[in-house]
Structure 1
Amino acid sequence: MLNLAIVLEDSARETPDRTALVFGDMRLPYSMVESVANQVANLLVSRGISRGDKVAIACPNSPYFPFVYFGILKAGATVVPLNVLLQSGEIAYHLADSDAKAFFCFEGTAELPLGKRGREAFEQTSGTEHFFVLPATPLATESELGETLWAALDGMPGEFPTVPTAPDDTAVILYTSGTTGRPKGAELSHQNMLLNAIVSDEMFARSENGDTYLAVLPLFHSFGQTVIMNAGFRRRGTLVLLPRFEAGAALDLMRREKVTIFAGVPTMYWGMLTKIHADGEEVPTTLRVAVSGGAALPAEVLKDFQTTFGIGILEGYGLSETSPVASFNQPGKPAKPGSIGTPIWGVEMKLIDAEWNTVEGEGPGEIAVKGHNVMKGYYNRPEATAEVMRDGWFRTGDIATRDSDGYYYIVDRAKDMIIRGGFNVYPREVEETLMTHEAVSLAAVVGVPHDSLGEEIKAYVIREPGATITEEELISWCKSTMAAYKYPRIIEFRDSLPMTATGKILKRELR
């Protein structure tokens, strides 16, 4: 038996009174997180959820996330975490595609009406039988959107014998927007996720007094889930939860809670440094480990952080399909700025060409990964899986070079992927949505450089003959149809687009 929930269970058994979560004024010990997760597991079993069933959760960084995540795992079911920025049509797609039997959805706020979107999606999805509201008001038992978690947990015991799962059973299905438009669910086993959390934890020495993590990376995303939550719980650390990154709030929490470990995307580092330099914010002094991933870290930010905070930023690399960590600038080896480091323990990397042939020397070539971190495949998509997996190797679509010491450096993105503020945006998905508008004849989406976000999304659009839609009108339509991180903020109308002889749009000429 192997169940990812052990990262919580073991810590709750050994250090029940240690603070596991800090959220606003709340400080919750490991024993309480364990007990609520057990109640969630009991609830699921009482509603007919059994080993192998899929259960979705859409929730920002709050105590609800670990309560429900580990409750689902304990029940032997598979967690399907959803991006909280998805619109109702997108949520419905994920629920149906993953065969989710139950759905836990945060009630949301006026600015982010997640509960309303989730309820609409649930009503459109016949296979999803149960809808539980995670209320915005702590411990609220009523919600106009449906049954609340607290009402459902009433009378559920705080003990639960974790359902035995095999190492190869699917623990989590993480959705990744493929270059083919529709998001695909990467199936990650208990072994994938547990080993990645263990390796992520063991890369850094532990503080004598225990470690405190600032958890601002979304827990629904593989980076936050493995590197912060699962590794942090295994370490018996304290997770300080911040639902939305805001530089001032992050710095304040770092100082107040004496945060020792931080992981973020480059724009977060940029934001904190900007805040310190512009407003004279006090620099936190307890930070001892800073990790960056999700996009290439600008060298200027790295230098500035080292000077300002007195510690370096260690860069790593991975994908949802690799649980996610594949390589890292590991302690004990010199860190090389601009590099994604070397493969982590138990993982191999190589460079390949389009035909899967190994590229020797420094490349460039496409990164392929093999090891305990590689997914089982895409859920219910054997053809898509066969395209990216061969003999245990997973091809990432990211182009890199490698130096004589075996350190890798990312050169170019998988196909044309845009990374906007740390979120992966696949142009084709945006293009396909744009082209559902009656005034749009053709669309090509590219990333254009942006000072703080890294890249902004720009769409080149050819209008239908006679259509008079304006840029503002089309942007507004996109905003209501796509998640906030996906929709194009810049639209340029054209009469034609540059194309190859076979009719493929030449994006490199549009950038």
Structure 2
Amino acid sequence: MRLSSLLDRNIQEFGEYPFLYDGDKELTNVETRALANQLAGKLRQSGIGEGDRVLVMMPNNPGVLIAYQAITRANAVIVPVLFTLHPKEIAFIAKNCQAAMLITSSSMKTQVNLILKEMNEHMPTLMIEEMENISTGIPLADTDEGERNDDEVVVILYTSGTTGAPKGVMLTHKNLTMNAANSARHANVDRGTTIGVLPLAHVFGLTISHACYVTGSSIAIFPRFIPSEIFEAIEKYKVKSFSVVPAMIYGMIASKDADRFDLTSLESVSSGSAPLPVALLHGFEKKFGASVYEGYGLSEASPIVTAHKKGIPVKPGSVGIPIPGVELKIVDDRGREVPKGVIGEIILKGEHITPGYFQNEHKSVETIVDGWLHTGDLAQMDEEGYIYIVDRKKDLIIKNGFNIYPRDIEEVLSKHEGVIEAAVIGIPDERTGEEVLACVVKRPNDEITQEELLEYCAGQMAKNKLPSRIVFLSELPRNGVGKVLKTALRQSVVQQKNMR
């Protein structure tokens, strides 16, 4: 199935209904398709042809999803870009994928000018507001796709670049539609209205829209996370479930606005993109009386791999079980499957797995071996098939020859009443190989010291895991979906150390 077919089948199965809510405005699924068809016609008239890459860069709004549908209906390739990236990063992406056009909004004009200056070349730009002026004389795009191959690449999703230059993950129609159908089937969510506050330029946010096509649900779209606005939407639309990242869970717990709204409809939130401290999970469930279903995924898997769901026990600290269509193994460094309870690397196979990285054959061959995607994520599986993510392979700390998993220490620190969040990294050390350093964000007005926190840790963990130093920060560096940028932390710490 092709991406455009998700919306077509949605209309065929559910009829016309309000699909997108944007403040006081709403668009039905039928209106969404009509606008997408018209924009597809405009793209073709502008010279966009089959396989051309089209960047989409703007805050969350209905125009993002309309643009995605339009691009695929024009048989071009969608390149979603987080508008919060630095102009240099966006210019790199545009050059790397040889973008034929940029679709953006008028609010992004300053950013666009900086990007074009970095590129030092012209790139045709279409403001989404021009959709309001689309002439009815422009023919609709031909949506009769016949026997077109659903193995064609439809999205190139660039990684955040936390471990170097961003890589373009190629995703096919089949990758995305199969993952949407299988994740919706796994979750077995009721038809209703969900909240789209995760960036639609990120694979996690993008998947929400695909799942809503499948389930016949609606989306209340928000360009930014403001707890009071989210609470208001839950009350207004009687939202039962929506997707978040851990930073949003903390924001909802910390907000004093929750008591002003009727949130009794909320049954669960799905958390992903970054590890969720168990203390945060319990705090949310206690405050809101709603379950937290933590899951795991990555861009290269389109993206959902595992998740909790209604009807099975929630195991705090676990990311649930594999969704249908996912073949998952945990293996050692030689590719041999390890026993239950033993830590190894997650490898994946299935129709949702990327065919590779755009114009990066070396990385593609290195990552996908004999059809298995090597994720670089360390985990263990229990006897019931639940997966527990231990850490990123690249974040593993090796001190005096012993493996130390940062997440173990982060979980301990996050339980301290004076700590909002923590990130643990390894820094080079001539004597031990690596030393453990903890970066901590304190609660406002809390005067906890390094000595107090180290003493607290000493009562909770083995001596060799203890941080050698604790650095207090006002906030942790994050990418557009709330994932902590540990590479940036390491570079900052090493830089400070060299300046002494």
Both proteins in one fold, TM over 0.5: yes
**Structure 2 residue corresponding to 1:119, chosen from 113, 116, 137:** 113
User: 1:448 — aligned with what?
Assistant: 439
CA apart distance, 1:494: 4.2
Distance 1:264 1:63, change over 3 A: same
- Within 5 A, what are the aligned runs for 1:264-275? 264-275=244-255
CA apart distance, 1:451: 5.7
Task: Report the count of equivalent residues.
Answer: 429
**Structure 1 residue corresponding to 2:185, chosen from 191, 195, 202:** 202
Q: 8 Å contact 2:192–2:218 — kept in the other structure?
A: yes
Question: Does 2:212 correspond to 1:225?
Answer: no
Aligned mates of 2:334, 2:278 — CA distance in 1: 33
User: 2:307 — aligned with what?
Assistant: 328
Aligned mates of 1:448, 1:54 — CA distance in 2: 39
Aligned mates of 1:484, 1:402 — CA distance in 2: 24
CA apart distance, 1:237: 0.9
Aligned mates of 1:401, 1:409 — CA distance in 2: 5
- Please give the per-residue CA displacement for 1:352-411, whole angstroms capped at 9, x wherever unaligned: 223333323322111111111111101000001111111111111111111111211111
User: 2:319 — aligned with what?
Assistant: 340
Which residue identity does 1:84 align to in structure 2?
A: F
- Structure 1 residue matching 2:56: 3-state secondary structure: strand
CA apart distance, 1:68: 0.3
User: 1:92 — aligned with what?
Assistant: 91
- Structure 1 residue matching 2:394: 3-state secondary structure: coil
Q: 8 Å contact 2:228–2:258 — kept in the other structure?
A: no
Distance 1:445 1:26, change over 3 A: farther
- Structure 2 residue matching 1:103: 3-state secondary structure: strand
User: 2:465 — aligned with what?
Assistant: none
Q: 8 Å contact 2:38–2:134 — kept in the other structure?
A: no
User: 2:8 — aligned with what?
Assistant: 9
Q: 8 Å contact 2:40–2:140 — kept in the other structure?
A: no
Which moves more between the two structures, 304-313 or 332-341?
304-313
Distance 1:80 1:243, change over 3 A: same
Question: Does 2:172 correspond to 1:173?
Answer: no
- Within 5 A, what are the aligned runs for 1:13-28? 13-28=12-27
Distance 1:124 1:301, change over 3 A: closer
Aligned mates of 1:358, 1:127 — CA distance in 2: 50
Aligned mates of 1:238, 1:272 — CA distance in 2: 22
Distance 1:371 1:101, change over 3 A: same
User: 2:282 — aligned with what?
Assistant: 303
Question: Does 2:245 correspond to 1:261?
Answer: no
**Structure 1 residue corresponding to 2:143, chosen from 161, 166, 170:** 161
Aligned mates of 2:438, 2:206 — CA distance in 1: 27
CA apart distance, 1:131: 0.8
Distance 1:130 1:13, change over 3 A: farther
**Structure 1 residue corresponding to 2:172, chosen from 180, 185, 189:** 189
- Structure 2 residue matching 1:100: 3-state secondary structure: coil
**Structure 1 residue corresponding to 2:337, chosen from 358, 361, 380:** 358
Give the TM-score taking structure 1 as reference length: 0.76
CA apart distance, 1:272: 1.0
Aligned mates of 2:178, 2:484 — CA distance in 1: 31
Which residue identity does 1:20 align to in structure 2?
A: F
- Structure 2 residue matching 1:94: 3-state secondary structure: helix
Which residue identity does 2:279 align to in structure 1?
A: E
CA apart distance, 1:445: 13
CA apart distance, 1:495: 5.4
Aligned mates of 1:198, 1:366 — CA distance in 2: 26
Q: 8 Å contact 1:35–1:159 — kept in the other structure?
A: no
- Structure 1 residue matching 2:359: 3-state secondary structure: coil
- Structure 2 residue matching 1:335: 3-state secondary structure: coil
Q: 8 Å contact 1:43–1:153 — kept in the other structure?
A: no
Distance 1:162 1:97, change over 3 A: farther
- Please give the per-residue CA displacement for 1:225-251, whole angstroms capped at 9, x wherever unaligned: 11x111012222110001100111111
Q: 8 Å contact 1:115–1:133 — kept in the other structure?
A: no
User: 1:433 — aligned with what?
Assistant: none
Aligned mates of 1:245, 1:489 — CA distance in 2: 28
- Please give the per-residue CA displacement for 1:423-444, whole angstroms capped at 9, x wherever unaligned: xx9x9xxxxxxxxxxxxxxxx9
User: 2:77 — aligned with what?
Assistant: 78
Q: Unmatched 5+ residue regions in structure 1?
A: 109-113, 136-147, 428-443, 453-474, 499-511
- Structure 1 residue matching 2:314: 3-state secondary structure: coil
The structure richer in helix per residue is 2
Q: Unmatched 5+ residue regions in structure 2?
A: 397-405, 411-422, 426-434, 444-473
Q: 8 Å contact 1:76–1:163 — kept in the other structure?
A: no
Which residue identity does 1:449 align to in structure 2?
A: V
- Structure 1 residue matching 2:112: 3-state secondary structure: helix
Which residue identity does 1:186 align to in structure 2?
A: V
